[in-house]
Amino acid sequence: AQSVTQPDIHITVSEGASLELRCNYSYGATPYLFWYVQSPGQGLQLLLKYFSGDTLVQGIKGFEAEFKRSQSSFNLRKPSVHWSDAAEYFCAVGGGGTDKLIFGTGTRLQVFP
Amino acid sequence: DAEITQSPRHKITETGRQVTLACHQTWNHNNMFWYRQDLGHGLRLIHYSYGVQDTNKGEVSDGYSVSRSNTEDLPLTLESAASSQTSVYFCASSVNSPTGELFFGEGSRLTVL
């Protein structure tokens, strides 16, 4: 069955620290992978996406993610977190000629000054 | 600028009442989706449409219906609201491509008393 697992419900980091949010997926075909961010009271905004090619993809706001097929993972990273990065982050998987994305349960990021 | 808007943003209703949440997009996207967001569940797909007169059930479609009479609108109707349908509802749209980015509205918070 197709699924996305975000094992960390809540992460707290200090401003300026590095960040890694975990995402593992289960998908029968070649996956298309996405990270979205949701600020409080807002809809979701695309951070980055992976379809093929270079397994390290760059996104907006200084985020990057690395696709590791052998580990079925697509972890999101940022070298130095800013207070404005506090939000909820969702990993999603799709593909196979459909736009029906399957979302993980999200990771809430809290940033301390 | 193109956008996707949802209304109302907040609604309180009573059990058994019919409720309709509106979604309007000016992207001219063929694909439109309705998700609900609940703590611990992330985003779950309710209904989706790939074009005018096309509608499909998602994973949590019971108690909901949609209709697509034009490209811009996909209203979501709760036939007889239940307390279990208290949630935040998001509408999204995308171009007709498996790699197409989902554009989200800001959400409609529905409370069923």
State pLDDT tens for residues A19-61: 999 999 998 777 889 999 999 888 899 999 998 888 999 999 9
Tell me whether B88 touches chain A (CB under 8 Å): no
Residue range A99-108: average pLDDT? 87
A95 pLDDT above the threshold of 70? no
Q: Which of B37, B41, B43 to mutate to test the interface with A (most CBs of A within 10 A)?
A: B43
Contact B101 A49 (CB under 8 A): yes
Query: For B90, which of A43, A51, A104 is closest by C-beta distance?
Result: A43
Helix (H) or strand (E) holding B48: strand B42-51
For residue A100, list chain B residues with Cβ-Cβ distance below 8 A: 33, 45, 48, 58
Please work out, in degrees rounded to the nearest 5, the angle formed at the alpha carbon of residue A43 by the alpha carbons of A38 and A48. 55
A13: exposed, middle or buried (Cβ count in 10 Å: 0-12, 13-18, 19+): middle
Report mean pLDDT in 10-residue bins for chain B, 113 residues: 91 97 94 92 92 94 97 97 97 79 92 97
